[in-house]
Amino acid sequence: GENVEQHPSTLSVQEGDSAVIKCTYSDSASNYFPWYKQELGKRPQLIIDIRSNVGEKKDQRIAVTLNKTAKHFSLHITETQPEDSAVYFCAASENTGFQKLVFGTGTRLLVSP
Amino acid sequence: DTEVTQTPKHLVMGMTNKKSLKCEQHMGHRAMYWYKQKAKKPPELMFVYSYEKLSINESVPSRFSPECPNSSLLNLHLHALQPEDSALYLCASGSPGQGADTQYFGPGTRLTVL
Q: What is the pLDDT of residues A83-113, one digit of tens each?
A: 999 999 999 987 566 678 899 999 999 999 9
- Provide the pairing of β-strand B10-13 with A86-94: unpaired
DSSP element (H, E) containing B12: strand B10-13
Partner-chain contact B105 A100, CB within 8 Å: no
Residue A98: the pLDDT is 66
Q: What is the pLDDT of residues B21-68, one digit of tens each?
A: 999 998 888 899 999 999 999 999 999 998 899 988 989 999 999 999
CB–CB of B24/B104 below 8 Å? no
CB–CB of B21/B89 below 8 Å? yes
Whether B90 contacts chain A with CB within 8 A: yes
How far apart (Å, rounded) are the C-alpha atoms in residues B29 and B71? Answer: 8
User: What is the DSSP code string of A28-82?
Assistant: TT--EEEEEEE-TTS--EEEEEEETT-SEEEETTEEEEEETTTTEEEEEE-S--G
Q: What is the pLDDT of residues A22-79, one digit of tens each?
A: 999 999 888 889 999 999 989 999 999 998 888 999 999 999 999 999 999 999 999 9
Mean pLDDT of chain B: 91
Residues 22-41 of A with CB under 8 A from B: 31-32, 34, 36
Helix/strand/coil percentages in chain A, nearest 5? 5, 60, 40
Interface test with A, best of B54, B90, B105 (most A CBs within 10 A): B105
